[in-house]
Amino acid sequence: MNDQLIIDLGMNTAQDTRFYLRKGFRVVGVEANPMLAEEVSRQFVSEITAGRLVVENIGVGPQRGEFNFWVNHTHHEWSSFHEDIGSRGGAFHVIRVATVPLADLIQRHGVPHYLKVDIEGMDLTVLKALHDFSERPRYVSVETGPGLKWLDELDRLGYQRFKLIDQRLVPEQLPPDPAREGAYVPAVFEWGSTGLFGDELPGMWCSVDELRSQWMQVLESPGEGNPLWYDIHACRDQA
């Protein structure tokens, strides 16, 4: 595992990638939308030239090939290889995007310290692909839905500690000083960003059963609204 590497699956406009770079990590940003990937490449020329950032304009899925990708005109973060997700709101167009398995990325770049997964509709595919590797990222985060399948998969992968993060509260997060991941940098997290990760996350780590209980309480809470917007962060202690 490369403890200086972060893979940002679903880089979008690089709001998370920018934070990771400022903290001193090397980043592989993966973005299926060619317009967003091109814009990020223009913004981070010096980081790309220095080898600190690699932008991969590809999708990640179960197999290599080219597949339909629905580019959402209203919310670019909704764009997806799944029509029901990418076509929400009615304004979209369809393009063909090259797709590779997660194994191709890891063979090219190495096992990261932290794997951020936010690719609409393909998150579980990525988690299942980690079973092919005896060495896995120490930290993984994934956007969760109303069920428990994401948590169950992380449990099967050997992740032992978990945090449930309400993404609506991410703009209130403050990076700890001194830093516990990379270098300290002051940051104001935009709406929609993933925020802190790893040992800098707020709150206490809990067991898989404790997180299941927390999630059921969230689902049963009145006034939570729809849709729910939470990330699961998982930690796998190193042997």
Count of alpha carbons within 13 Å of 154, Cβ hemisphere only?
A: 32
Q: Is the pLDDT of residue 224 over 60?
A: no
- The domain spans of the chain are 2-235
Q: Tell me, what's the pLDDT at 83?
A: 60
What is the pLDDT confidence band of residue 147, given thresholds at 50, 70 and 90? confident
Most confident stretch, 51-55, 94-98, 167-171, 225-229: 51-55
What is the pLDDT confidence band of residue 78, given thresholds at 50, 70 and 90? low
Most confident stretch, 19-23, 66-70, 163-167: 19-23
Q: Which residues pair with 99 in a beta bridge?
A: 59, 65
Q: Tell me, what's the pLDDT at 1?
A: 85
CATH code of the domain occupying 2-235: 3.40.50.150
What mean pLDDT is reported for the chain? 89
Question: Mean pLDDT, to the nearest integer, of 2-19?
Answer: 95
Question: Mind listing the pLDDT tens digit for each residue in 44-73?
Answer: 999 999 999 999 999 998 889 888 877 776
Question: Mean pLDDT, to the nearest integer, of 82-91?
Answer: 68
pTM summary value: 0.92
Q: Tell me, what's the pLDDT at 222?
A: 62
Q: Is the pLDDT of residue 25 over 90?
A: yes
Question: Mind listing the pLDDT tens digit for each residue in 198-209?
Answer: 999 999 999 999
